[in-house]
Structure 1
Amino acid sequence: MARARTEPPPRRRYAKRLLPADRREQLLDTALRIVAAAGFTEVTIAAVAEHGGVTRPVVYDSFGNRDELLAALIERETSRMRAAVTRALLDDHDSGDGPREVLITALRRFLSDVRTMPGTWRLVYFPIDGVPPLLRDHIRKARNEFRLPLRLRLGEWLASQPPAAGGDAVDLDVLVEIVQGGLQTLARRVLDDPEQFGVERVLAAIELLLGEIA
């Protein structure tokens, strides 16, 4: 009787070799996707290894433990937020454009960054299960950092406007609060429904409101 042929066992698949820095970024990207889908409580070394298609030792080579991984993720994402604020509100200060154009350009850059980095900005604008205290502190600081350059841009724009009828000046502090709160709402809409709330559509409404205030 002929012996049945036995298939060799499938070869184990190994993760593609990456430079340590590239592997670290890949694992942080994986952790961010887990956060977006299920919250911080679901981020574990095992989950990152499974979703990233690597073994646990590969993850441990980059991060000593879960806390180290989360701290690195929070630091990376808040650094991206700060960079986005700098690009939007502080770059090209001497571009030669008028205050209104500078302000609109700044808001366009900010909302565009929100749209292109949804995972990062969802950490700020949406409730997520198991948010670590460290992230809350970073977000609070990021919002304060955002307020200062926003106040600068709005102040430049107000200074360029003719005096209001009756001599009643627009209160800059109140305007900053209104605009920042409005941007928070708009950012959520851009993240939630980017097709319906495109950046240019949102900016058209902002320009109309600025015209009404002026």
Structure 2
Amino acid sequence: MTPRPRLAAADRREQLLDVAADIVAAGGARALTVDAVVAKAEVHRPVVYRHFTNAEVLLDAVVERELSRLHHATETAVAGQVGFEARMRAAVTAWMELFAKDPVVMSIALVRPPSNDPLRARRRQQNRLAVRFVAAEFAAAGVDAVDAEIAGATLLHGLVGIVELWAAKRINRRVAIDRYVRIATATLRELQPQT
């Protein structure tokens, strides 16, 4: 193996994260080993260990980076948007655009891992954050806290289904976004207190 050219520490760390993300996207979290990263990145083991103490730490860093990208895209998209429909449309559009540009984010954020996959527990944490985002939007519109949380969980799982249809090329992105926003808006209207 011929080692790759020497990179700055931050650049090397990003390169290793990119390689690890590709491995996770292709084979799941169980496929991510230090040896797999060494082989794919064409580096020596000490290079990986200089940045990550083991594969679990590397997996945590990959998940954190990809979910951070998703969170940042969402926050940026909804900033300045007024009203439930506009905020939901902006958030879902940002998610879909990010998934289109970077399928690794989609696979880490949405694709359901096997029950024994270490990524599953990390996904639950991310799902709770997504449910809270949607529930907060519902609560801000006057929906009872319990109903808002139920709606958040339901709409999160609905989004996964819609993204899967889009990824399978059964619907286009515009249709996916429009349908999701229509369903979310109808759910909000149904749950809002009648005045």
TM-score range for the pair, normalised by the shorter chain length: 0.7 to 0.9
In the alignment, structure 1 residue 180 sits paired with structure 2 residue 156: yes
- Render the CA deviation track for 1:119-154: whole Å, top value 9, x for unaligned: 12312322335522xx43432222222122212334
CA distance in structure 2 between the partners assigned to 1:210 and 1:65 by the alignment? 41
| Alignment check: 8 A CA contact 1:45 1:65 kept | yes
The share of aligned pairs that are identical, in percent, is 26
Match of 1:149 among 128, 133, 138: 133
CA distance in structure 1 between the partners assigned to 2:2 and 2:94 by the alignment? 42
| Alignment check: 8 A CA contact 1:81 1:142 kept | no
Q: Note the residue ranges of structure 1 that are not aligned, 5 or more in a row.
A: 1-11, 160-170
1:208 Cα offset (Å): 4.3
Give the aligned CA root-mean-square deviation in angstroms.
2.9
| Bigger relative contact order, structure 1 or 2 (CA pairs below 8 A, ≥6 apart) | 1
Match of 2:117 among 131, 137, 142: 131
1:17 Cα offset (Å): 1.8
- 2:193 paired residue number: none
CA distance in structure 2 between the partners assigned to 1:176 and 1:41 by the alignment? 30
Q: Which has the larger radius of gyration?
A: 1
- 1:119 paired residue number: 104
CA distance in structure 2 between the partners assigned to 1:57 and 1:207 by the alignment? 48
CA distance in structure 1 between the partners assigned to 2:28 and 2:149 by the alignment? 35
- Render the CA deviation track for 1:166-202: whole Å, top value 9, x for unaligned: xxxxx54554343222112112233x32x44332111
CA distance in structure 1 between the partners assigned to 2:94 and 2:186 by the alignment? 23
CA distance in structure 2 between the partners assigned to 1:104 and 1:67 by the alignment? 35
- 1:48 paired residue number: 37
CA distance in structure 2 between the partners assigned to 1:138 and 1:188 by the alignment? 20
- 1:163 paired residue number: none
Q: Which has the higher helix share?
A: 2
Match of 2:93 among 97, 103, 108: 108
CA distance in structure 1 between the partners assigned to 2:122 and 2:108 by the alignment? 11
| Alignment check: 8 A CA contact 1:88 1:110 kept | no
Q: Which amino acid aligns with 2:164?
A: R
